[in-house]
Amino acid sequence: MIDEKRFKLIDSKTGKEFEFDGLTGSMGPDVINISSLYKQTGLFTYDPGFTSTAACNSKITFIDGEKGILQYIGVTQLKIWQIIVLT
């Protein structure tokens, strides 16, 4: 869902300004929709660990990998990561 919030990116070399919509999630943090970043600026983002990037939009699932949370339709599916060592 597009929020009223807008974000401005300013190129410090050229002074050009670019604006992006803010999106509000039902859970987790809000996001900046940068899907038009390349079209507007000719640049890509760099997020090597994929730690600050939302890859999809879902109304029925929520994932927080750092906290080990996986929910489907609001029901927790995975709470604890387990490692089983076979000897």
List the CATH number of the domain containing 53: 2.20.28.60
Domain assignment of residue 8, yes or no: yes
Cβ distance 53 to 76 under 8 Å? no
| Torsion over CA: 45, 59, 21, 7 (sign) | negative
Q: How many domains does the chain have?
A: 1
Rounded to two decimals, the pTM is 0.61
- Per-residue pLDDT of 58-87, as tens digits, reads 776 777 777 777 776 665 655 555 556 666
**Domain annotation covers residue 85:** no
For residue 10, tell me if it sits in a domain.
Answer: yes
Which residue range is the domain that position 62 belongs to? 2-78
CB contact at 8 A, 20 and 34: yes
Q: How far apart are CA 25 and CA 1, in angstroms?
A: 7
The answer as to whether 28 is a domain residue is yes
